[in-house]
Amino acid sequence: MAILNFGGVEEVVVTREEFPLKRAQKTLAEETIAVIGYGVQGPGQALNLRDNGFNVIVGQRKESKTWDKAVADGWVPGETLFEIEEACERGTIIQYLLSDAGQITLWPTVKKHLTAGKALYFSHGFGITYKDRTGIIPPDDVDVILVAPKGSGTSLRRMFLEGRGLNSSFAIFQDATGNALDRVVALGIGVGSGYLFETDFRREVYSDLTGERGTLMGAIQGIFAAQYEVLRANGHTPSEAFNETVEELTQSLMPLVAENGMDWMYANCSTTAQRGALDWWKKFRDASKPVFEELYSEVAAGNEAQRSIDSNSQDDYREKLEKELEELRESEMWQAGQTVRTLRPENG
């Protein structure tokens, strides 16, 4: 492990130099990793672990779309692909990668297979942090660990295949065996992390829920919609409004920010753009900060978690969700986006 200094704040991080893949393979040589769930994070983590030489099996409901997806990805029924309960029984490390709602529903089945010395692995701190609401309380004689890639399972897999890594946080909630640290770091390296930074279950879920509702998804969609609507209201065409709102940001500027930082991007744009951005960014910060403070308070109070649990447990949740997604999908802005994407040179 290494201690890195981020502007005067020290953090514990682990890179592949300190904990190479060979060490991770040796650490988990006697383990069977059972990946439960093959939806969002499951495919990327399972495939990366398999390609990195670990003993991995997948647990999924038979006769489901995700079971068929697992078969298409090369998991063999009866050899590396099993019904969930059998995979839990076989696994010494159970990677619990179902949705938060799915974890609540399946917990009684998983819990009975958590025998002494096993490890229960999460990629989200939700179930443990809000255990009073979820009922997910692990036995005292198992390790409870977390590796949370900072991106989607699709991105984790794509970056792995490109020879890159997606950064992940790691945490230990319970070290029953004395080997929880080696187990969690080895798994973090195995799933294809770029580097690992230390957190705890509470901080992971607080930051994750805030980020999803904030700059990662909720806030960015809100800002996109606001600018697009103002441009359209002032006579700009859908193509012009979309290109100035979304396309230039995602295709031109954000890759530069990812490579070099926002400060570099500011320093390397036109002086007119530079002056305007410097004059206006603090106004946007001041306008949005109260919303972020309210959001974080709702997350910390457990209200966001409860809303998620309540809505996801409704019988008609999927139908309601599809209507909300349809509204987004059929909005003029994202219809314009669909057209613009087809006109990119690589698609021509």
* CA 327 – CA 333 distance, rounded (Å): 11
Tokens of 84: 């969930």
pTM: 0.90
Residue 205 in any domain: the answer is: no
**HSE-up (13 A, CA, CB side) for residue 341:** 8
Give residue 1's pLDDT band: very low, low, confident or very high (50, 70, 90).
Answer: confident
Our count of domains for the chain comes to 2
> Can you give the CATH number for the domain in which 65 is found?
3.40.50.720
Residue with tokens 């021509």: 348
Active site residues: 124
* Residue 39 Cα to chain centre, angstroms: 12
* Residue 128 Cα to chain centre, angstroms: 17
Q: Which residues of 50-89 are buried (b: 16+ CB within 10 A; e: fewer)?
A: bebebbbbbbbeeeeeebeebeeeebeeeebbbebeebbe
* CA 282 – CA 114 distance, rounded (Å): 50
Residue 320 CB coordination number (10 Å): 11
Nearest to 53 by CA among 21, 81, 19: 21
**Burial group, residue 296, by CB count within 10 angstroms (0-12, 13-18, 19+):** middle
Local structure of 106: helix, strand or coil = helix
The stretch 142-150 carries a mean pLDDT of 96
Residue 325 in any domain: the answer is: yes
Task: Say yes or no: 222 and 181 in one domain.
Answer: no
**Domain extent at residue 297:** 211-347
Tokens of 223: 């800002």
Beta bridge partners of residue 166, listed in sequence order: 193
**Final residue of a structural domain among 138, 167, 199:** 199
Nearest to 152 by CA among 39, 40, 251: 40
Residue 106 in any domain: the answer is: yes
* CA 344 – CA 348 distance, rounded (Å): 7
**Final residue of a structural domain among 152, 169, 199:** 199
Residue 206 in any domain: the answer is: no
Task: Say yes or no: 104 and 40 in one domain.
Answer: yes
> Can you give the CATH number for the domain in which 263 is found?
1.10.1040.10
Task: Say yes or no: 37 and 171 in one domain.
Answer: yes
Tokens of 30: 């006697």
Local structure of 83: helix, strand or coil = coil
Q: Report the helix count and the strand count for the chain, using DSSP H and E.
A: 19, 10
* CA 67 – CA 77 distance, rounded (Å): 9
Please give the share of the chain, as a percent, with pLDDT higher than 70. 99
Q: Tell me what pLDDT residue 347 has.
A: 56
For 285-320, the pLDDT digits (tens) are 999 999 999 999 999 999 999 999 998 888 898 899
Task: Say yes or no: 67 and 177 in one domain.
Answer: yes
What is the largest distance, in Å, between two alpha-carbon atoms of the chain? 67
For 154-193, the pLDDT digits (tens) are 999 999 999 999 999 999 999 999 999 999 999 999 999 9
pLDDT at 348 over 70: no
pLDDT at 94 over 80: yes
Residue 204 in any domain: the answer is: no
Task: Say yes or no: 93 and 228 in one domain.
Answer: no
Task: Say yes or no: 195 and 309 in one domain.
Answer: no
Tokens of 95: 């990677």
Nearest to 266 by CA among 279, 255, 277: 277
Task: Say yes or no: 114 and 195 in one domain.
Answer: yes
* CA 75 – CA 16 distance, rounded (Å): 27
Contact 118, 176 (CB under 8 A): no
**Final residue of a structural domain among 151, 176, 199:** 199
Task: Say yes or no: 115 and 237 in one domain.
Answer: no
For 12-68, the pLDDT digits (tens) are 899 899 999 999 999 999 999 999 999 989 999 999 999 999 999 999 999 889 999
> Which residue spans within the chain are E strands per DSSP?
2-6, 9-15, 33-36, 56-59, 81-82, 93-96, 119-122, 143-149, 166-174, 193-198
For 60-70, the pLDDT digits (tens) are 999 889 999 99
Please give the share of the chain, as a percent, with pLDDT higher than 90. 86
Contact 328, 334 (CB under 8 A): yes
pLDDT at 241 over 80: yes
